[in-house]
Structure 1
Amino acid sequence: MPIISVEQLQNTYEKILLSRDMASDMAKRLATGFADMANEGVYSHGINRFPVFIGQVDKGQIQLNAIPECVNQMGALEQWDCHYGRVF
């Protein structure tokens, strides 16, 4: 089985996100998050999750350039509208 470095994984993820018109700074951060999760052994949000995530992007279920917005604050609690955006 070939060994892929975290940097290679991150670069590949970033290229895929950029090919879908994600802003470059956001693509780098999201690719880093996916690669870090894979490296840390969080398989539910790393390598295993990325194809599902991209599928949702391609179907329009996730908007890559959406900016989360705080819509309500209640003391220590906040309610956020992510506008169908990413979570990283």
Structure 2
Amino acid sequence: MKKLAYLSIVIGLLLMGCKETKKSKEKPLLDSEPKYEMVETPPPAAVSPAADIMIVPIEHATAVLEWNNTTIYIDPVGGANAFKGQKQPDLILITD
């Protein structure tokens, strides 16, 4: 009886596991066709107020940021000698 149950389970698994599925060789349908065209004129350059920002790297994560007549020291390390020639800070930013 055990042999018959075992044999029927094995045959059942073989029949289910050996399904023959054909893979479609057709290309998948696209929702839209891609358009390949060349842009004749480039878009206008963006006017960026960020151009007024000056960043002076001092050390690894230390920098002096000057923007709109405001001087910001970011993570100041290295002592006074590291900041020689820089403006006095209006703001000191210390990150964690």
TM-score grouping bracket, smaller chain normalisation:
under 0.3
Richer in strand (by share): 2
TM-score by length of 2: 0.16
Give the number of the structure with larger relative contact order, counting CA–CA contacts within 8 Å between residues 6 or more apart.
1
